A and B are shown apart, each in its own frame.
Chain A
Amino acid sequence: MTKIGLEIHCQLTRLESKLFCSCKADYRSFEPNSNICPVCMGLPGSLPILNKKAVEKAALLSIALGCKIPPKIGFFRKNYFYPDLPKNFQITQYNAYGPTSIGYDGTIMIEEKEIKIRRIQLEEDPGRLVYSGSSEKTEITLVDYNRAGTPLVEMVTEPDFENPKQVRVFLNILADLVENLGIADPYLEGAFRVDGNISIEKGNRVEIKNVGSFRDIEKALHFEITRQQSLAERGIPIPAETRHWDEARKITVSSRSKEEEEDYRYFPEEDIPKIIIEKTLLESLKNTMPESIMSKKERYINKYRIPVQVAEVLSSDKFYSDLFEQSHTEKNAKEIANLITTDLKGFADTKEQREQLKLTPKHLSDLADAILGNKITRNSGKVALQEMIKTGKTLSEIISSLDLGHVEDESSLVKTIEEVFIEEQKAVSEAKQNSDTINYLVGKVMRKTKGKANPSLTLDIIRKKLDSQ
C-alpha cells in the first residue's frame, strides 16, 4: 500500500502586515532589504507583536478543514542557525507537549477518501538567500530579509493518500478553499509550497522537498513511486532519506545528508503570551464563512436541478461560481450552468484569460434567455458566446451583425427543406424507415441555414413531409 503524506506551507497573502510586525505582508515589489524593521530583522531588544487577522484567518482555515481548535493557543521557538533566519530561531507552533496550535485533528473528504489533517500551525517565513550553493565561484551568499516574518500557515496531513491523483485533487480543492475563504492567493509566486513524504509497501519513508509549483507535486510523486518500485523489484532496500525535486531534469535527487535528525530544542515563545480563543469568536467566524464548496454543490443540484457533474465543476471553481451567482435567474440557471461549464472551455482557463474576459453576467443571462426562448439556436449561441468573450458586444448587436437570428419565417424554412429533399432523395427514402437519417436531413437544413433554423421546428416539418409522402 502506497502511503503519501503532505506538508503544505501557505502564505496568508490577504493580510496587510507580517505575522509579528507591521511591515508589508506582500514583499514582492520591494527593493532588497527595504521591507524590514527592528522586529523582523531580529535586532537586539526587538519583540514580536502578533497579528490579530492572522489568527483569525488561520482559525477560519482550521474550521473549514474540520479541525479542533484549542481554547488557548501558544507559540514555540524552533532553534537552528541559517542566514535567512534573523533570530536564528523561527517562531512557530508545536503540539508535542499538548495541542496549542491553531488547529489539529481535522479531516477532509477527497472523492470519498478521508484525509486526516494532523495539524495546522501559524509560523513566520524566513528571508531569502539570493545566491547560495557550493560552487567555487560563489564566494558569499546574499540575504534579503524582505520576506522574513511573512505569515504562513503550515498544514500537515497524515499519510492517508494512496496515489498521486488524490494528492492533485486535494491540492486543487485546498487551493480553491484558501482562495474562497479569502485567506490566500495560492497562485502567487512562492505563496503555496508543498513537500511530501511517500512510502511504498514495506519500504522506508522518503521526504520530497523543494517542489516548486504545486502542479509539479504529482509529477514528483509519480517519479518517486516509480523509483522506489524499481528498487524494490531488484530487491534493493529503499533508504529513508530526504530528496529534493530537480525541476529542470524532472527527477528527485538525494539531498546531501547534512543532518542526522536535527535537534531543534523546541520550547515556548514567552514573548507572546497564550491567546484565548473564545467559542464566541469561532461562532462568529463560522457565520462569516463564505459558502463552502460542498454546500454550493448541494444547492446547485437541489435548487436548480443542475446535473451532478456540472454542479461539481461549477462549485469548485470560484470564478465559475461567482459568474453563475451574478448571472442566473431561477429559470435560466441550468442553461447558464451549462454554458459556463461547457462552452467557456478554452476561453477562460488561465488567470490572464479570466482577467481579459469581456464577458459579463448580463451577457450570459441574455444569451441563456435567448436560447431558452428559441430566439437563437444552441449552435448559434456558441458562436455568439465566443464573440461576446472577444468583443464584449451585446447579444442583440452580435445577433444582427453575424446574422445569427433564428429563421423565424416558417415559409422560408419550408422552402429550404424542400431544397434539401430534392438534393438528398436517397436520404429521404431511407428516412422513412430510419430515424437516424432524419437527423441527417435536419443537419443538412441547419447547414444550409448556417445554423439559424430552429431545429425542433425543422424536425417537425420534415417528419410531416415524410409522413405525407
Chain B
Amino acid sequence: MNLAISISQYTQQIRDGTLSVEEFIAKTLERINNVDKTLHAFISLNENAVEQAKQIDKKLKVKEKVGSCLGLPISIKDNICTKEMKTTCASKMLEDFISPYDATVISKLKIQDAVIIGKANLDEFAMGSTTEYSYFGPSRNPWNPDYVPGGSSGGSGVSVSANECLASLGSDTGGSVRSPASFCSVVGLKPTYGLISRYGLVSFANSIEQIGPLARTVEDVAFILNIIAGRDLHDNTTIENGNPDYTKDLDAGVSGKKIGIVSEMVGEGVDKEVQLSTKDAVSSFEKLGAECVSISLDSAKHSVAAYYTLASAEASSNLARFDNLRYGFDFSVEGYEYNQYISKARSNFGSEVTRRMLLGAFVLSAGYYGKYYQKAQKVRSLIKSQLTESFKKVDLLLAPTMPILPFKIGEKIDDPLKIYLLDINTIIANLSGIPAISVPFAIANGLPIGMQLFANSLQEKQLLQAAHALYKTTNLPEVPI
C-alpha cells in the first residue's frame, strides 16, 4: 500500500473498494510510529483513529451515507481546538488543556468523515518561523532532519510531506502555512481573511491570522478548502464568499493572464538558488501562455516592521487570558497572592512569546500608541492600497515564498530579528488580507524551494488555477524519508 498518494487517489480507492479506511489508517499510524521519532511532527495522536476508521468502513459496507473525506487522515495544528484531544499550542501554559468544544473547521471536517490522526507541532502559540520555539522540541525537515521545516505550522508541513497524513490544517499569521509548505515541499494556502472561521483557533493576532490547508497537491488543497470555507455565525469576521466549488475548473490554466513579479522580493538578500528558481517559474508561466511583468511594491519594505508591531500588540492582549485559573497546568493557588500567582504561572511562557508580549505591551502603552501601533495600521493601509492598484494591472503576483533555502536547526535561534525578516515575502498577504499560496517548485542541494502566488481578495479560484498549472510543470523527487 502506498501512502504517498493524493486525496483524490485515496477517495477513488476507497470508493472502488480496493482500499479500506481501517487499512489506510493503520498503515498511516505505522508510518508515524516509524518516522516521527526523528521528525517529531506530532504532539499527540488520536487514540480512537482506528475505531473511527472501522465505523466508516461499516457505513460504507451497508451503503450508508459517508462524508466526502471518506476517512482520510488529516493532522491538525495544535492551536486549533479539538474536543477529544488536548490543544496545547506547544506551550506549558496549556499542557493539560482539553477544549470542551470543537473549532468550526473541525466540526466541518467531522461531518465529512475525516479522521483526525493527531495534533501537529508548532512554534509556541504560533509565534515563530522555524518550529524551534515549541515547548515540546522542534520538528525536523523530512528532506534533511538537521534542518528546520519552517514554521510556525512546522508539524503540519512535516506530516504532509513525510506521508504521515494526506492533509493538514495549519494557521498563517505572517507566513506560517506557506513557510513550512515551501521548506517541506508541499502545497500550502493562506486564504482571504474572513473566508474561514477562526472560532476554535487560539488567537495570536486576531485581525491577521487565518487557518489554511496543506496537502501534497493543489487539487487536494482545493478539496479541503471546499469543506472548511464559508461564513460562520460563531465568527463575526467571516465574510460571504458565494460558496464556490474550488475544485471545479482547476485545469483552466493561465493563458492570457498577467502575472506580476514583485521586484522587492527577488533581489538583494535572496539566495542565488532561489533567484534561479524564480526565473524558471517565470519561464514556465510564459510557456503556459501568461504574460509576466515586473511589479514594484515599495511599501513591502515596511511590512515586517508593521506586521510585528501589530502582531505583538494583539498577542499581548490575546494571551492575557492564560492566567492558569480556569485551565492550564497543575499549579495550586493556595498560599499565593493574585498578582504573584499569575506572574509566576505566566513565567512558563517561552522566551519568544514573552519577548513578543513585552513588545506588544510597549507599543500599546500610553504615549507610544501613535508612534507604533497607529503608524503600523497606516502602513497596513498603504500596503493594501498598493496591492489593490497592482491588481488593476495584473491578475496575480509571483515571488519566492522564502528568500532563502532551509537552514540548520539552531542556526538562527539567537537572533530573533533575523528570523522575523524571513517573513519578508509572505507578510504582505497577511497584512492586506489577500490570499496567497506556496507551490513546491524545486529542490536545490537536497532542500526544497517553493514559489508563491498572490491574488486579490476572494480570488481563490483564480489563484488555485494558476498554482495548479505551475504544479503540473514540476517533476519533483519523492521525500527521502
Enumerate chain A interface residues (CB-CB to B < 8 A): 38, 41-50, 77, 79, 81, 83, 86-89, 97, 139-141, 143, 263, 265-267, 270-273
A64 vs B325: C-alpha distance when bound (angstroms)? 42
Check A273 against B236 for contact (C-beta < 8 Å).
yes
Residues of B close to A267: CB separation below 8 A: 313, 317, 364, 369, 373
- Contact (A81, B325) CB under 8 Å given A49-B234, A49-B236, A271-B237: no
Of A45, A86, A143, A265, the contact of B199 (CB 8 Å cutoff): A45
Could you tell me the distance in whole angstroms from the C-beta of B432 to the nearest C-beta in chain A? 15
The minimal Cβ–Cβ distance linking A87 to chain B, given in whole angstroms, is: 5
Nearest CB in chain B: distance from A151 CB, A: 16
Known: A270-B314, A273-B236. A44 touches B364 (CB 8 A): no
Given A38-B100, A139-B335, 11 other A-B contacts at CB below 8 A?
Answer: A45-B201, A47-B198, A47-B237, A79-B316, A83-B323, A83-B325, A140-B333, A265-B316, A265-B317, A265-B369, A267-B369
Number of interchain pairs (Cβ within 8 Å):
100
Residue of A nearest to B101 (CB): A38
Q: Considering the chains assembled together, what is the distance between the CA atoms of A81 and B313 in angstroms?
A: 16
A44→B233 contact, CB < 8 A: no
Segment at the interface with A among B179-187, B202-210, B263-271: B202-210
Distance in angstroms from A83 CB to nearest chain B CB is 6
**Is B320's CB under 8 angstroms from A89's CB?**
yes
Which residues on the B side are within 8 Å of A97 (C-beta)? 374
Given the known interface contacts A44-B202, A49-B234, A263-B365, the answer about A88 and B320 at a Cβ–Cβ threshold of 8 Å is yes
Alpha-carbon separation in the docked complex, A49 to B237 (Å): 10
Instruction: Give Cα A141 to B337, complex, Å.
Output: 10
Could you tell me if B320 and A47 are in contact, using CB atoms closer than 8 angstroms?
no
State which residues 95-143 of B face A: CB under 8 Å: 97, 99-101, 103
Q: Is the CB of A45 within 8 A of B103?
A: yes
Q: Do the beta carbons of B236 and A47 come within 8 Å of each other?
A: yes
CB distance from A99 to the nearest CB of B (A): 17
* B290 within 8 Å of A (CB atoms): no
In the complex the two chains form, is B320's CB within 8 Å of A43's CB?
no
Q: Which chain B residues lie closer than 8 Å to A273 at the CB level? A: 236-237
The listed residue (B87, B198, B207, B364) touching A265 by CB distance below 8 A is: B364
Decide if A45 touches B237 in the complex (CB within 8 Å): no
B232 to chain A: closest residue by CB: A47
Beta-carbon contact of B327 and A43 below 8 Å = yes
B321 engages A42 (CB within 8 Å): yes
Chain B residues whose C-beta falls within 8 Å of the C-beta of A141 in the assembled complex? 338
Q: Is the CB of B366 within 8 A of A45?
A: no
Q: Are B233 and A49 in contact (CB under 8 A)?
A: yes
Is B97's CB under 8 angstroms from A44's CB? yes
Can you list 16 pairs linking A and B with CB atoms under 8 Å apart? A44-B327, A45-B81, A45-B201, A47-B199, A47-B237, A48-B236, A79-B317, A79-B320, A81-B323, A88-B321, A89-B320, A139-B335, A265-B365, A265-B366, A267-B369, A270-B206
Q: Are A81 and B320 in contact (CB under 8 A)?
A: yes
Contact of B317 with A46 in the complex, beta carbons under 8 Å: no
Q: A271–B202 contact, CB under 8 A?
A: no
Residues in B whose Cβ lies below 8 Å from that of A43: 99-101, 326-327
Residues of A within 8 A of B313 (CB): 267
- The chain B residue with its CB closest to the CB of A49 is B236
Contact-residue size bin, chain B (C-beta under 8 Å from the other chain) = 35 or more
In Å, the complex CA distance between A273 and B322 comes to 25
* Cβ contacts under 8 Å, A44 to chain B: 81, 87, 89, 94, 97, 99, 202-203, 321-322, 327
Residues of B within 8 A of A88 (CB): 320-321, 323
Residues of B close to A38: CB separation below 8 A = 100-101
Q: Mark B361-398, 1 if CB is under 8 A from A, else 0.
A: 10011100100011000000000000000000000000
**In the complex the two chains form, is A81's CB within 8 Å of B236's CB?**
no
Residue numbers of B with Cβ under 8 A of A are 80-81, 87, 89, 94, 97, 99-101, 103, 198-203, 206-207, 233-237, 313-314, 316-317, 320-323, 325-327, 333-335, 338-339, 342, 361, 364-366, 369, 373-374
Q: How far is the CB of A302 from chain B (nearest CB, A)?
A: 48
A410 vs B261: C-alpha distance when bound (angstroms)? 112
Closest A residue, CB atoms, query B313:
A267
Which has the most chain A C-beta neighbours within 10 Å: B202, B316, B364, B374? Answer: B364
Q: Which residues of A contact B335 (CB under 8 A)?
A: 139
B100 neighbours in A (Cβ, 8 Å):
38, 43
Q: In the complex, A50 Cα to B369 Cα: how many Å?
A: 26
- Residues of chain A lying within 8 A (CB to CB) of residue B327: 43-44
- Chain A residues lying within 8 Å of B233, measured Cβ to Cβ, are 49
Known: A38-B101, A263-B365, A270-B206. A50 touches B200 (CB 8 A): no
Q: How far is the CA of A41 from the CA of B326 in the complex (A)?
A: 9
Q: Which residue of B lies closest to A33 (CB)?
A: B326
Q: Which residues of chain B are near A50, meaning CB under 8 Å? A: 236
Q: How far is the CA of A47 from the CA of B233 in the complex (A)?
A: 10
**B369 neighbours in A (Cβ, 8 Å):** 265, 267
Interface centre among A45, A47, A271 (most CB of B within 10 A): A45
**Whole-angstrom distance between the alpha carbons of A263 and B365 in the complex?**
7
Smallest beta-carbon distance B276→chain A, Å: 40
CA separation between A44 and B83, bound complex, in Å? 12
- Name the B residues within 8 Å of A89 (CB-CB): 317, 320
Interface centre among A38, A43, A47, A97 (most CB of B within 10 A): A47
**Most chain B beta carbons < 10 A, residue from A44, A50, A272:** A44
B279–chain A nearest beta-carbon distance, Å: 39
A57 to B471, CA, bound (A): 55
Set B80, B97, B99, B207: member contacting A270, Cβ < 8 A: B207
Given the known interface contacts A44-B94, A44-B99, A265-B365, the answer about A270 and B325 at a Cβ–Cβ threshold of 8 Å is no
In this complex, which of B203, B314, B333, B373 has the most chain A Cβ atoms within 10 angstroms of its Cβ? B203
Considering the complex, give the chain A residue whose CB is closest to the CB of B125: A44
Determine whether the beta carbon of B338 is less than 8 Å from that of A45. Answer: no
List 9 A-B pairs, minimum CB-CB distance, nearest first. Answer: A270-B207, A88-B320, A265-B364, A45-B200, A44-B202, A45-B81, A87-B321, A42-B321, A45-B202
Let me know if A139 and B200 touch, CB within 8 A.
no
Q: How far is the CB of A76 from chain B (nearest CB, A)?
A: 11
Q: A86 to chain B: which residues have CB within 8 Å?
A: 321, 326
A45 to B197, CA, bound (A): 11
Give bound CA distance, A306 to B366, whole Å. Answer: 57
B236, A271: Cβ atoms closer than 8 Å:
yes
Q: B342: which A residues are within 8 A, CB to CB?
A: 81
Interface centre among A48, A81, A139 (most CB of B within 10 A): A81
Q: In the assembled complex, which residues on chain A have CB atoms less than 8 Å from the CB atom of B373?
A: 267
Chain B contacts for A139, CB-based, 8 A: 334-335
Name B237's contact: one of A87, A143, A270 (CB within 8 Å): A270
Nearest-neighbor residue (CB-CB) of A42 within chain B: B321
* Residue of B80, B236, B326, B361 touching A45 (CB-CB under 8 A): B80
Instruction: List chain A residues, Cβ under 8 A from B235.
Output: 47, 49
- With a cutoff of 8 Å between Cβ atoms, the chain A residues found around residue B87 in the complex are 44-45
